[in-house]
Amino acid sequence: MLSFPQSADILSTVGYDSIIQHLNNGRKNCKEFEEFLKERAAVEERYGKDLLSLSRKKPCGQSETNTLKRALEVFKQQVDSVAQCHIQLAQSLREEARKMEEFREKQKLQRKKTELVMDAVHKQKSLQFKKTMDAKKNYEQKCRDKDEAEQAVSRSANLVNPKQQEKLFVKLATSKTAVEDSDKAYMLHISTLDKVREEWQSEHIKACEAFEAQECERINFFRNALWLHVNQLSQQCVTSDEMYEQVRKSLEMCSIQKDIEYFVNQRKTGQIPPAPIMYENFYSPQKNAVPPGKATGPNLARRGPLPIPKTSPDDPDYSLVDDYSLLYQ
């Protein structure tokens, strides 16, 4: 349990200041973890968006066919899903950072109330201590004045002048009255200071108990927040592995033989290979043989011999077209 400072100086606030510094450090630690969560969320979101852009825009084996093509499609789908999970994780981390901020601000307000009470009792204690010390100084001065008056009366015992002696006796009587009054005032201030001290001590104990409860709550909240954070990261890894397992299963369904057969069936050009290239002798009588690698069917594109005209150029009907003759008539 937190305790009040063990110091001989009644004005000392060393213990209280130490507690406040510890609480401030705890609040600072919460703030640092809050900032860490926000930056980690930004990292996760940036990574998720980059991965999503990569999955949707960057080609990856787009010309593959059959079973490997289906596996690649599953791969792209799962990478897309992993990217979405990282973006969702970023949102979850921001939510946790918001909760940490709310908790930190709640404790700040609670501490403020206690600190205001403690500031007031510290101020009251310091003010009353100053009044008491002033009363003490006045009391001590009055005592010295009385002692001097007594010594003056003692020295004036042999004086013949009764009027002078009377003055000294009056001064002594006055100083005695002043001592009595200052003594009462001093004792009154001492009593008041003791009441203020007891009030301060009581409030200090209450403050220590409140601060201890706050610190226990803060440590527990911080610990749980950190625990939740690493659980979220672990869950992200598990989820990603489950998605990648789908890719592995699709890869297990791949068949090299089926992919080869699929390509052959899609791209085959025939079952008969080209004829062999034969040697041709330039002086061979088979000069007009079919060139190697050419088809042996009839050449439909080649013209036959010119037809023999049935009439001669001397015949008047030669070159007649629809009763029109090119011959001069």
CB count in 10 Å sphere of residue 57: 7
CB 89 within 8 A of CB 236: yes
Number of domains, the chain: 1
pLDDT per position as a tens digit, 107-124: 999 999 999 999 999 999
pLDDT value of residue 282: 86
Q: Is the pLDDT of residue 318 over 50?
A: no
* 200: helix, strand or coil: helix
Is residue 58 situated within a structural domain?
yes
Is residue 193 situated within a structural domain?
yes
Would the CA dihedral through 146, 152, 154, 156 be positive or negative? negative
Q: How far is CA 140 from CA 10, 169, 182, in A?
A: 21, 21, 8
Is residue 288 situated within a structural domain?
no
Paired tokens of 51: 């991965």
Residue percentage of the chain with pLDDT more than 70: 83
Residues 107-116: contacts with CB under 8 Å, at least 24 apart: 107/27, 107/214, 107/217, 107/218, 108/27, 110/210, 110/214, 111/23, 111/211, 111/214, 114/206, 114/207, 114/210, 114/211, 115/20, 115/207
- Chain-wide mean pLDDT for the chain? 85
Is residue 93 situated within a structural domain?
yes
Q: Of 85-89, 253-257, 259-263, where does the model show the most confidence? A: 85-89
Q: How far is CA 239 from CA 82, 180, 243, 311, in A?
A: 8, 87, 6, 98
pLDDT value of residue 328: 41
Helices (DSSP H) in the chain: which residue ranges?
14-57, 66-155, 162-252, 256-267
DSSP code per residue over 111-156: HHHHHHHHHHHHHHHHHHHHHHHHHHHHHHHHHHHHHHHHHHHHHG
pLDDT value of residue 321: 47
Is residue 7 situated within a structural domain?
no
CB 208 within 8 A of CB 2: yes
Q: Which residues pair with 321 in a beta bridge?
A: 324
pLDDT per position as a tens digit, 25-81: 999 999 999 999 999 999 999 999 999 999 888 888 888 889 999 999 999 999 999
Give the Cα separation of 269 and 3 in Å (integer).
95
CATH number at 35 reads 1.20.1270.60
pLDDT per position as a tens digit, 186-230: 999 999 999 999 999 999 999 999 999 999 999 999 999 999 999
Give 204 or 289, the one with higher predicted confidence: 204
Is residue 310 situated within a structural domain?
no
Is residue 294 situated within a structural domain?
no
Query: pLDDT grade, residue 310 (50/70/90)?
Result: low
Query: pLDDT grade, residue 326 (50/70/90)?
Result: very low
Is residue 24 situated within a structural domain?
yes
Q: Looking at residues 319-323, what average pLDDT do you find?
A: 49
Q: How far is CA 319 from CA 1, 230, 255, 322, in A?
A: 136, 106, 76, 10
CB count in 10 Å sphere of residue 73: 14
Q: Could you tell me the residue range of the domain that residue 153 belongs to?
A: 13-267
Give the Cα separation of 246 and 292 in Å (integer).
56
Q: Which of 162-166, 202-206, 235-239 has the lowest mean pLDDT?
A: 162-166
For 29-50, letters b (16+ CB in 10 Å) and e give: ebeebbeebbebbeebbebbee
